[in-house]
């Protein structure tokens, strides 16, 4: 065999070897890209499939935002205390009270983003004062009243969210208020928070 033929065969062999290497690199590149795409898709799926962090309190979709006349009948609310639905046109001045109000009036406060702290009338006095201290620490968008019809000693209510608890829990109450206060469907400024216990009920202000 001549040197020319041998060199040609060697060159052809080297060309085939180089072609195989290029093909292998190309396949490896596609395999890596496919693995990356599959991995990213799996990560997105697993993240979206994870349960979201629970929102504090139980959610109840508002049944209505309609105003009704004082004393007018309406369908039953879907929670106790109610968290949204038919309500009176005038809210209550924010503050701490030792008297009960109609649920329908306080629902208007919730619509404005207020938090309603309601407690059974026989709640120990020291726990009532602890609730009052929490209310005072915020200074606005808080209503605190007794409510004999509570299903638990203490209820903390926001628009569409409800926290019923059997014992005073400062951390849980503050967490709920921090998450839901000011988030009602109507962003109305709130002024005049006060401890009204032992005082005459303030004249309702429709603008609050």
In a domain, 202, yes or no: no
Is 153 found in the same domain as 108?
yes
Looking up tokens 């195989």, which residue turns up? Answer: 20
In a domain, 201, yes or no: no
Is 40 found in the same domain as 140?
no
Is 186 found in the same domain as 97?
yes
Is 151 found in the same domain as 129?
yes
> Which pLDDT belongs to residue 79?
97
Is 140 found in the same domain as 74?
yes
Query: What's the pTM value of the predicted model, to 2 decimals?
Result: 0.72
Please tell me the total count of domains within the chain.
2
Alpha helix segments (H runs only) across the chain: 3-49, 103-111, 125-138, 170-180
Is 80 found in the same domain as 18?
no
> Which pLDDT belongs to residue 94?
96
In a domain, 65, yes or no: yes
> Which pLDDT belongs to residue 35?
60
Query: Are the C-beta atoms of 104 and 87 separated by less than 8 Å?
Result: yes
Is 15 found in the same domain as 113?
no
Q: Which domain holds residue 44?
A: 1-50
Is 136 found in the same domain as 65?
yes
In a domain, 6, yes or no: yes
Is 11 found in the same domain as 68?
no
CATH number, domain containing residue 90: 3.40.30
Nearest CA-CA partner of 59 in 147, 149, 163: 163
Is 186 found in the same domain as 108?
yes
In a domain, 208, yes or no: no
> Which pLDDT belongs to residue 42?
39
In a domain, 68, yes or no: yes
> Which pLDDT belongs to residue 49?
44
What are the per-10-residue average pLDDT scores of the chain (208 residues)? 63 71 73 59 41 73 96 96 97 96 97 97 97 96 97 98 97 97 92 89 56
Distances (CA, A) of 40 to 34, 36, 163: 10, 6, 39
Is 121 found in the same domain as 30?
no
Is 98 found in the same domain as 24?
no
- Which one of 34, 50, 66 terminates a domain? 50
- Which one of 50, 72, 90 terminates a domain? 50
């Amino acid at each position: 065999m001549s040197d020319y033929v041998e060199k040609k065969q060697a060159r052809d062999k080297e060309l085939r070897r180089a072609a195989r290497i290029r093909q292998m690199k190309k396949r490896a590149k596609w395999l890596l890209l496919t693995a990356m795409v599959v991995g990213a898709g799996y990560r997105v799926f697993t993240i979206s499939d994870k349960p979201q962090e629970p929102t504090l309190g139980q959610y109840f979709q508002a049944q209505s935002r309609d105003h009704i006349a004082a004393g007018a009948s309406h369908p039953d609310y879907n929670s106790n205390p109610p968290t949204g639905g038919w309500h009176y046109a005038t809210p209550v001045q924010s503050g701490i009270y030792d008297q009960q109000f109609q649920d329908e009036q306080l629902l208007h406060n919730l619509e404005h983003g207020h938090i309603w702290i309601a407690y059974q009338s026989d709640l120990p006095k020291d726990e009532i004062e602890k609730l009052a201290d929490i209310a005072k620490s915020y200074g606005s968008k808080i209503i605190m009243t007794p409510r004999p019809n509570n299903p638990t000693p203490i209820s903390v209510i926001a628009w569409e969210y409800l926290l019923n608890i059997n014992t005073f829990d400062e951390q849980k109450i503050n967490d709920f208020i921090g998450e839901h206060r000011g988030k009602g469907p109507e962003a109305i400024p709130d002024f005049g928070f006060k401890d009204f216990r032992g005082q005459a009920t303030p004249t309702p202000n429709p603008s609050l």
